[in-house]
């Protein structure tokens, strides 16, 4: 049960409940940087083991000894992660036997919960407290960390809040594990089904050997594409570009919209190419389009097959259309292509549903943190 806070006071970190305190990190927690152990990569190669070796944002290695034991929170000392505080956690919660390098501070709760530090500073903008190290890097010195102000509720409320947030974290972690499992299943299925190592019931016979030039048409889009402004809002049709962002934005401009889909939007065939089955416009003339030459070809089958094939790039890093035209593939009859694509599409739909569910829980957690870590909503 929750109740809205009634009595609150203004502090250096904003409005907090009357019965909460504001303490510095040095007053509220112990900093145990004496347990840090910087070990070079070369040295770590000779001491591989089971104990995690942490840096400011995660595990960097595993070694055969440990210096820290129990539950501790870590917060980075330097790096560019401070610029990503709203989307990337600034803190780690670590338990067990492990090691920490000299780029992360080690924090432990004694009179307060270690988990409270972990959640309170996880997505807090600290840039005004940090020392700048170049254009995109900041440093959180120990002396600065000690003086950082922290809202401190009564211990029982700390426990209630951190338990509630931990429950959501457990849901997110369980979804992460399930998504990883489903992705591995799909990857294995692709290797078996797209190469004919496993045949679906009701299908037999030999697959035909074709070249990509036999089954795909190559199209260079017009050089000048989008005239109108491109907006972030999802209104109109997506505007595609030849880089990892893929969808640059959206436009309501109707001229030049590609509607005769599906196509493969080609850049780097194995990493940046995309299968597109929606209307779109193109921003970059660097994009090429691949379309099936006949109705006997399921383009999605060709696209999925390309993702598991290994291509040699020769002396250069980019892949060129001319290099693909003569690559041979084995192609089953259209009915078998369609059946395989249907199975892979069902897997994709399941993965999409799980990812959407995970994103929903992340949004729920973000809302809970905004309410609970500030005392706007009290847990009873």
CB neighbours of 343 closer than 8 A, spacing ≥ 6?
189, 193, 200
Instruction: Tell me what pLDDT residue 212 has.
Output: 87
Judge whether 242 and 271 are in contact, CB under 8 Å: no
Q: Is 141 exposed, middle or buried (0-12, 13-18, 19+ CB in 10 A)?
A: middle
Instruction: Tell me what pLDDT residue 317 has.
Output: 47
Give me the domains of the chain, ranges plus CATH numbers: 21-152 (3.90.220.20), 208-331 (3.90.220.20)
Angle subtended by helix axes 334-372 and 299-308, to nearest 10: 70
DSSP letter, residue 115:
H
Instruction: Tell me what pLDDT residue 145 has.
Output: 96
Taking the CB of residue 222, how many other CB atoms lie within 10 A of it? Answer: 8
The greatest distance separating any two alpha carbons of the chain, rounded to the nearest whole angstrom, comes to: 78
Judge whether 8 and 16 are in contact, CB under 8 Å: yes
Instruction: Tell me what pLDDT residue 369 has.
Output: 96
Give, for all 380 residues of the chain, the pLDDT tens digit.
444 446 899 999 999 999 999 999 999 999 999 999 999 999 999 999 999 999 999 999 999 999 999 999 999 998 778 888 888 899 999 999 999 999 999 999 999 999 999 999 999 999 888 888 766 678 899 999 999 999 999 999 999 999 999 999 999 999 999 999 999 999 999 999 999 999 999 999 899 999 988 998 887 766 556 666 778 778 888 888 766 678 888 988 888 888 877 888 765 555 567 888 999 888 776 777 888 999 999 999 998 998 887 655 454 445 556 666 788 899 999 999 999 999 999 999 999 999 999 999 999 999 999 999 999 999 87
Cα–Cα distance measured from residue 154 to residue 160, given in angstroms and rounded to the nearest whole number: 10
Query: From residue 216, how far is each of 252, 285, 294, 301, 334 by CA, in Å?
Result: 30, 20, 8, 12, 15
Cα–Cα distance measured from residue 9 to residue 110, given in angstroms and rounded to the nearest whole number: 26
Taking the CB of residue 89, how many other CB atoms lie within 10 A of it? Answer: 16
Cα–Cα distance measured from residue 240 to residue 247, given in angstroms and rounded to the nearest whole number: 5
Taking the CB of residue 14, how many other CB atoms lie within 10 A of it? Answer: 12
Cα–Cα distance measured from residue 340 to residue 306, given in angstroms and rounded to the nearest whole number: 14
User: CA nearest 124: which of 75, 77, 90, 100?
Assistant: 90
Q: Which two tokens stand for residue 364?
A: 């729920």
pTM of the model: 0.82
Q: Is 366 exposed, middle or buried (0-12, 13-18, 19+ CB in 10 A)?
A: middle
Q: Which two tokens stand for residue 298?
A: 């399921």
Alpha helices in 98-233 (DSSP H): 114-120, 142-147, 155-193, 212-215
Judge whether 211 and 325 are in contact, CB under 8 Å: yes
Instruction: Tell me what pLDDT residue 134 has.
Output: 66
Judge whether 117 and 150 are in contact, CB under 8 Å: yes
Q: Which two tokens stand for residue 229?
A: 């402004």
């Amino acid at each position: 049960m929750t109740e809205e806070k009634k009595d609150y006071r203004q502090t250096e970190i904003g409005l907090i409940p009357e019965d909460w305190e504001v303490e510095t990190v040095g007053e509220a927690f112990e900093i145990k940087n004496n347990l840090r152990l910087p070990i070079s990569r070369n040295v770590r190669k000779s001491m591989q083991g089971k104990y995690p070796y942490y840096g400011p944002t995660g595990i960097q290695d595993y070694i055969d000894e440990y210096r820290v034991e129990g539950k501790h929170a870590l917060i980075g000392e330097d790096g560019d992660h401070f610029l990503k505080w709203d989307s990337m956690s600034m803190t780690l919660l670590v338990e067990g036997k492990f090691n920490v390098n000299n780029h992360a501070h080690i924090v432990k709760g004694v009179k307060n919960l270690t988990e409270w530090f972990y959640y309170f500073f996880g997505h807090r903008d600290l840039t005004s407290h940090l020392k700048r190290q170049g254009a995109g890097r900041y440093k959180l010195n120990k002396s600065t960390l000690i003086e950082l102000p922290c809202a401190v509720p009564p211990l029982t409320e700390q426990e209630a809040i951190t338990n509630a947030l931990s429950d959501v974290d457990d849901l997110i972690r369980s979804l992460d594990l399930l998504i990883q499992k489903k992705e591995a299943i799909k990857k294995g299925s692709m290797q078996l089904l797209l190469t004919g190592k496993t045949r679906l019931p009701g299908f037999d016979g030999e697959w035909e050997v074709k070249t990509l030039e036999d089954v795909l048409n190559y199209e260079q889009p017009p050089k000048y594409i989008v005239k109108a402004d491109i907006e972030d809002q999802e209104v109109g049709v997506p505007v595609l570009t030849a880089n990892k962002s893929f969808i640059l934005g959206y436009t309501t401009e109707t001229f030049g919209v590609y509607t005769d889909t599906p196509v493969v939007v080609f850049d780097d065939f194995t990493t940046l190419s995309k299968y597109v089955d929606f209307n779109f416009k193109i921003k970059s003339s660097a994009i090429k389009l691949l379309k099936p030459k006949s109705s006997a070809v399921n383009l999605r089958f060709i696209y999925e097959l390309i993702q598991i094939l290994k291509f040699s790039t020769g002396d250069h890093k980019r892949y060129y259309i001319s290099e693909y035209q003569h690559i041979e593939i084995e192609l089953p009859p259209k009915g078998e292509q369609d059946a395989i694509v249907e199975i892979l599409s069902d897997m994709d739909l399941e993965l999409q549903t799980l990812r959407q569910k995970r994103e929903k829980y992340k949004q729920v957690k973000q809302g809970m943190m905004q309410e609970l870590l500030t005392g706007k909503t009290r847990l009873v």
